[in-house]
Chains A and B, each alone.
Chain A
Amino acid sequence: MSEAATLRRPTTRDEDWRYADPQFLAEAPMAYLAEWGEIAVAPGETICDNIRLGDGASAPGATVRQRVHVGKGGRFEYFATIVGGPYLRIELEVTLEEGAHFEFGGVTLGGDSKRQEFVTRVIHAEPGATSNQVVRAVQWGQSTGNFLGRIEVVRDAQKTDAAQNFRAILLEKGASANTKPELEIFADDVKCAHGAAIGALDETTAFYMAARGLPPQAARRLLVRAFIADAFAAVGDEALRESLLEGALAHLEEAAL
Chain B
Amino acid sequence: MLEITNLHAQVASADGPKQILNGLTLSVGAGEVHAIMGPNGAGKSTLAYVLGGRPGYEVTAGSVTFCGQDLLAMEPHERAAAGFFLGFQYPVEIPGVSNVQFLREALNSQRQQRGEEPLSGGEFLKLAKEKAGLLKLDMDMLKRPVNVGFSGGEKKRNEMVQMGILDPKFAVLDETDSGLDIDALRIVGEGINAIMRDPQKGVLLITHYQRLLDYVQPGHVHILAKGRIVKSGGPDLALELEREGYEMLGEGVAA
Contact = CB atoms under 8 A, between A and B. Distances in A.
Given A222-B101, A226-B96, A226-B97, A212 B162 contact: yes
Interface residues of A, number: 22
Contacts of B107: 213
Interface in A182-228: 202-205, 207-216, 218, 222-223, 225-227
Contacts of B94: 205, 208-209, 223, 226
Given A205-B92, A218-B105, A222-B102, A211 B76 contact: yes
Contacts of B109: 213-215, 218
A208 B155 CA distance: 13
Contact of B97 (A204, A215, A222): A222
Contacts of B231: none
Interface string A218-246: 10001101110110000000000000000
Contacts of A209: 94, 102, 106
A116 to B, nearest CB: 22
User: 4 closest Cβ contacts across the A-B interface?
Assistant: A226-B96, A213-B80, A210-B76, A213-B110
B77 A222 contact: no
A105 B55 CA distance: 35
Interface string B76-109: 1101110001101001101111000111011101
Contact of B80 (A212, A216, A230): A212
B77 A223 contact: no
11 contacts: A211-B85, A212-B166, A213-B77, A213-B106, A214-B106, A218-B105, A223-B94, A225-B97, A226-B95, A227-B96, A229-B96
Contacts of B113: 213, 215
Interface string B43-60: 000000000111100000
A207 B75 CA distance: 10
B141 to A, nearest CB: 17
Contacts of A211: 52-53, 76-77, 79-80, 85-86, 88
Nearest to B57: A207
Contact of A214 (B53, B54, B77, B79): B77
B11 to A, nearest CB: 14
A227 B75 CA distance: 25
Given A203-B55, A207-B54, A218-B109, A212 B102 contact: yes
A231 to B, nearest CB: 12
Given A213-B166, A218-B109, 8 more contacts: A204-B92, A205-B92, A208-B91, A210-B76, A210-B80, A213-B106, A215-B113, A230-B96
Which of A208, A213, A216 is packed against the most chain B CB atoms within 10 Å? A213
B150 to A, nearest CB: 14
A213 B81 contact: yes
B92 A208 contact: yes
Contacts of A215: 75, 77, 109, 113
A210 B103 CA distance: 12
Nearest to A230: B96
Contacts of B166: 212-213
Contacts of A204: 92
A222 B103 CA distance: 11
Contacts of A208: 88, 91-92, 94
A203 B102 CA distance: 17
B154 to A, nearest CB: 16
A226 B113 CA distance: 24
A74 B224 CA distance: 69
Interface string A159-177: 0000000000000000000
A146 B81 CA distance: 39
Nearest to B80: A213
Nearest to A208: B92
A252 to B, nearest CB: 15
Contact of A222 (B52, B86, B105, B162): B105
Interface string B109-135: 110010000000000000000000000
A204 B55 CA distance: 9
Interface in B131-180: 162, 166
Contacts of B102: 209, 212, 222
B77 A216 contact: yes
B20 to A, nearest CB: 17
Given A203-B55, A207-B55, A212 B97 contact: no
